[in-house]
A and B are shown apart, each in its own frame.
Chain A
Amino acid sequence: GAGVSQSPSNKVTEKGKDVELRCDPISGHTALYWYRQRLGQGLEFLIYFQGNSAPDKSGLPSDRFSAERTGESVSTLTIQRTQQEDSAVYLCASSLAEAGGPETQYFGPGTRLLVL
């Protein structure tokens, strides 16, 4: 079956512009994560959605970052007034999030964002 997909695969924008990144999780996966990975750095957790529960936004670096997800479907990550330090690969992952146990995550290919 289809894996996690993300769009666009690459995005170049000018400083100060808003960008919207999209993630299509695997069908039936209730949990969805957004991560950021700057050049040469490790994964940086941004936000976690689980079903209809309130998302865990503890990783969002500033109020310029926001994310939405409707039910168990598509999620969008929006970055307002982009800055050059926002340049990174933005990764999305989804999982079944079975109750009571750890979960295997399936990562999308990422969106490479470059802010000029």
Chain B
Amino acid sequence: KNQVEQSPQSLIILEGKNCTLQCNYTVSPFSNLRWYKQDTGRGPVSLTIMTFSENTKSNGRYTATLDADTKQSSLHITASQLSDSASYICVVGDNYGQNFVFGPGTRLSVLP
């Protein structure tokens, strides 16, 4: 069964600290993996998109990694800001680009 798991479920950190969010998947065949950021009451915003051949991609203070062998991805946030408080959703697409499996998300709260 195709699944995407994320950990931790929720995370609280202090402003300025770094953090890493995890995503494990069993989707096969694999096509791409996306990380989204979603603020409360807003639509999700794409942070990174990675295909099978890419193992790291950065977007400002966000860096995503992908290990297609172990089927794991991480999202590292550097020097967190209060505006980073949001849900971070990992989404994995299959090889045909027709099916996307959504993780439950990680709730991040950045405190001053």
Contact = CB atoms under 8 A, between A and B. Distances in A.
B43 A35 contact: yes
Nearest to A43: B44
**Could you say which interface size class chain B belongs to?**
20 to 34
A76 interface: no
A105 B100 contact: no
A102 B40 contact: yes
Nearest to A33: B43
Q: What DSSP secondary structure best describes chain B's contact surface?
A: strand
B42 interface: yes
Which range contains the number of A residues in contact with the other chain? 20 to 34
Nearest to A3: B104
Contacts of B24: none
Interface in B16-45: 34, 36, 38-44
A107 B44 CA distance: 13
